[in-house]
Structure formats: C-alpha cells, structure tokens
Structure 1
Amino acid sequence: MTRDEQIAALTAEPSPAPSGARCCRCRQWTYAPVPVRYIERQSGPGFTLYACPNHAVALGAGPTPEDVVRNP
C-alpha cells in the first residue's frame, strides 16, 4: 500500500456500524433480526425480543400465554 493509499484510507469516512440483534433462542448475533415478542414492564418502556430467521418460525408471533403475567 502506497503512502497516498494509506492517507486516503485513514481520512475516508468510517463505515456505518453494523445493525442487528441477538437471537433470544440461540443467543447468536444476526444481521436480519425478526421481532417475535414485545415485553411490557410496569415502569419504564417495554422491550422487544428478536430472533434469527431460523428460529423466528419456531417461536411464532407473540404474545403467548406464557408471556402474560398473572397475579396470584
């Protein structure tokens, strides 16, 4: 790599940060996350659980009965 190429590489705009999410089933990082659950919280905003495309089909659409919090 020549000196001019090195300078050009250092002054070039940085590439955007990769986006994605961790799969809630296999815990692997995926660049094609599929939202499968939205978990409500009593205080503060809720959060979304994501799955990789392979596990999104198995998890299906939510919420499911086990996602519901019941008072005793």
Structure 2
Amino acid sequence: MNERDKLVLIKGEDKTKDMHSLRYDGGKYFIKFKGTDREYGYAYSNVEVKKANIIYELKNNNRISLINILNVSVKLPS
C-alpha cells in the first residue's frame, strides 16, 4: 500500500506498511497484509483511513511535505 496516499490505523495502531491492499464493502474494511493471500475483515469502527500527505507551499516556490503525521503543530516564519 502506498504510504504517501493513505495512513491506515487499526485499533489506533499504524498498519500501513504491513498492508498489501484495502477495500471497503458492506460496512466493513477488508485488508490483505503483505506475505499472505488471506483477507481479514475489520469493523468500520476499528479502522481509520486518513490522507497521509500534507504539503505546505512556502515562499519562493519551496515546499514541505509531511508524511504519516497524525497530530502536528507547525509554526512557519512569517
């Protein structure tokens, strides 16, 4: 799974790096982990899927990209 696109938490724990695929169907998430063909079902309430990238555009066309950040406070110079 591309960690730059999504952050996947299962019961609050980041499992993105361990995952091969993710799909949602009928109120449940179905996840295949790397190294296995088995698909595991998880209740919707146990899985959080978040956008992983936060890109800040700075002066002079510079960028800062934060990947897999859950809670962050950034103070940029004015």
Higher-helix-fraction structure: 1
- Give TM-score, length-normalised by structure 2: 0.24
Structure of greater Rg = 1
Point out the structure with the larger strand share. Answer: 2
**Structure with the larger RCO, 1 or 2 (CA within 8 Å, 6+ apart):** 2
Q: TM-score scaled by structure 1?
A: 0.25
